[in-house]
A and B are shown apart, each in its own frame.
Chain A
Amino acid sequence: MSVPLLEARNVTMRFGGVAAVQDVNLVLGEVELRCLIGPNGAGKSTFFKILTGQLKPTEGVVLFRGQDITGSHPHVIARLGVGIKTQVPNVFNGLTVREGIGIAAGRKKSLRRARQIVEETMELLQLTAIADRMVGQLAHGQRQWVEIASVLAQEPDLILLDEPAAGMTHEEVLRTADLIREINKKQALVVVEHDMQFIRMIGKTVTVFNRGKILIENQVDAVLADPGVRDVYLGKQAH
Chain B
Amino acid sequence: MKLKTLPRPRQDAGWGGAIATVVGGLVILFGMPMVTGTFGLLQVTVFAALAIFALAQGFIWGFGGILCFGQSAFLGLGGYAYAIGAMNMTDTTGAVALAVIVPMIFAAGLGYFMFYGRISDAYIGVITLTVTIILFNLINSTSGDIYHIGAAPLGGFNGIPSVPPLNIPGNPDDQLDPTGLWYCAMGALILCYILLKWVLATRFGRVVVAIRENETRAQLLGYDPRLFKLLTFVIGAGISGVAGCLYTNWGAFISPTVFSLTMSAQVIIYVLVGGLGTLIGPILGAVAIQYLITLAGGQHVIDPNLMLGIVLVAFVLLVPQGVAPVIRGSVRRLMPSRSVATPAQAEVSQGASQ
**Which residues from chain B contact A75 at a C-beta distance below 8 Å?**
219-225
The stretch from A2-10, A94-102, A178-186 touching chain B is A94-102
A118 to chain B, nearest CB (A): 12
User: Does A174 reach chain B (CB closer than 8 Å)?
Assistant: no
Partner of A103, one of B216, B218, B224, B225: B218
State whether A154 touches B221 (Cβ < 8 A). yes
**Are A107 and B224 neighbours in the complex by a CB distance under 8 Å?**
no
Evaluate contact between B220 and A102: CB separation under 8 angstroms. no
Q: Smallest CB–CB gap between B276 and chain A, Å? A: 12
Q: How far is B224's CA from A91's CA once the two chains are assembled, in angstroms?
A: 16
B210 CB → nearest A CB, Å: 5
- Cα A95 to Cα B211 in complex, Å, equals 11
In angstroms, how far is the closest chain A Cβ from the Cβ of B148? Answer: 45
- A84 CB–B CB distance under 8 Å: yes
From known contacts A75-B223, A103-B221, A104-B221, infer whether A90 and B206 are also in contact, taking CB-CB under 8 Å.
Answer: no
In the assembled complex, A22 has its CB within 8 A of some CB on chain B: no
Query: What residues of A have a CB within 8 angstroms of the CB of B222 in the complex?
Result: 75, 78-79, 107, 154
Residues from chain B with Cβ under 8 Å of A83 in the complex: 220-221
Q: Whole-angstrom distance between the alpha carbons of A93 and B277 in the complex?
A: 14
Q: Which B residues between 178 and 230 are near A, CB-CB below 8 angstroms?
A: 203, 206-207, 209-210, 212-214, 216-225
| A73-B224, A75-B224 as given contacts; A150 in contact with B210, CB under 8 Å | no
Partner of A93, one of B207, B214, B221, B225: B214
Q: Within 8 Å CB of B216, what residues of A?
A: 54, 74, 86, 90
Q: Which of A75, A93, A94, A102 neighbours the largest number of chain B CB atoms within 10 Å of its CB?
A: A75
Size of the A side of the interface (Cβ < 8 Å), in residues, is 27
Q: Which residues between 19 and 64 of chain A lie within 8 Å of chain B, taking CB atoms?
A: 52, 54
Q: Are A150 and B221 in contact (CB under 8 A)?
A: yes
Do residues A93 and B223 form an inter-chain contact, with CB atoms below 8 A?
no
Decide if B213 touches A78 in the complex (CB within 8 Å).
Answer: no
Most central of A93, A106, A147 by chain B CB within 10 Å: A106
Q: Is A92 an interface residue (CB 8 A)?
A: yes
Chain A, residues 131-161, CB within 8 Å of chain B (1/0): the string is 0000000000000000100100010000000
Q: A90-B216, A90-B217 are in contact. Are A100 and B224 (CB under 8 A)?
A: no
Q: Report Cα–Cα, A107/B212, bound state, in Å.
A: 17
* In contact, B210 and A92 (Cβ under 8 angstroms): yes
User: In the complex, what residue of chain B is closest to A132 when comparing beta carbons?
Assistant: B10
Cα A133 to Cα B195 in complex, Å, equals 28
Residues of B with C-beta under 8 A to A104 = 221
Selected contact of A107 from candidates B213, B217, B223, CB within 8 Å: B223
A99-B206, A102-B206 known; A107 and B221 CB under 8 Å?
yes
Nearest chain B CB to A154 CB, angstrom units: 6
Alpha-carbon gap, A172 to B59, bound state (A): 40
A106's partner among B203, B214, B225 (CB-CB below 8 A) is B203
CB distance from B350 to the nearest CB of A (A): 31
Say yes or no: A78-B217 contact (C-beta < 8 A), given A94-B209, A103-B210. Answer: no
Q: A103-B206, A103-B207 in contact; A52/B213 too (CB < 8 A)?
A: no
Contacts of A107 on B, CB cut-off 8 Å? Answer: 221-223
Report the Cα distance A94→B217, complex, angstroms: 13
* CB interface residues, A 201-224, toward B, < 8 Å: none
Give A154 to B221 CA distance when docked, in angstroms.
7
A52→B221 CA distance, assembly (Å)? 11
Residues of chain B within 8 A (CB-CB) of A90 are: 214, 216-217, 220
**Residues of the A chain whose Cβ atoms lie less than 8 Å from the Cβ of B217:** 90-92, 147, 150
Known contacts A95-B213, A103-B207, A106-B203; is-contact A52 B224 (Cβ 8 Å): no
Min CB distance B116 to A, Å, is: 11
Which A-chain residue is minimally distant from B216 (CB atoms)?
Answer: A90
Query: Closest CB of chain A to B253's CB: distance in Å?
Result: 42
In the complex, the chain B residue whose C-beta lies closest to that of A79 is B222
Please give me the residue from chain B that is nearest to A153 by CB atom. B221
- Taking the nearest CB of chain B, how far is it from the CB of A45, in angstroms? 13
CB-CB under 8 A from B224, the residues of chain A are: 73, 75
Which of A54, A92, A99, A104: most chain B CB closer than 10 A?
Answer: A92
For the complex, give the distance between the alpha carbons of A165 and B319 in Å: 40
How far does the Cβ of A157 sit from chain B's closest Cβ, in whole Å? 13
Q: Which residue of B lies closest to A85 (CB)?
A: B220
Assembled-state Cα–Cα distance A83/B218 (Å): 11
Chain B residues near A100 (CB-CB < 8 A): 210
Q: List 22 A-B contacts (CB under 8 A).
A: A54-B216, A74-B216, A74-B219, A75-B222, A75-B223, A78-B220, A78-B221, A83-B221, A84-B220, A86-B216, A91-B214, A91-B217, A92-B214, A92-B217, A93-B213, A99-B206, A99-B210, A100-B210, A106-B203, A106-B207, A107-B223, A150-B217
Q: What 3 A-B pairs have minimum CB-CB distances, sorted nearest first?
A: A78-B222, A92-B213, A90-B217
User: What residues make up the interface of B, taking CB atoms closer than 8 Å to A?
Assistant: 203, 206-207, 209-210, 212-214, 216-225
Q: A78-B219, A90-B216, A92-B213 are in contact. List 19 more A-B contacts (CB 8 A).
A: A73-B219, A75-B219, A78-B221, A78-B222, A83-B221, A84-B220, A86-B220, A90-B214, A92-B210, A93-B214, A94-B209, A94-B212, A94-B213, A95-B213, A99-B210, A100-B210, A103-B206, A106-B206, A150-B217
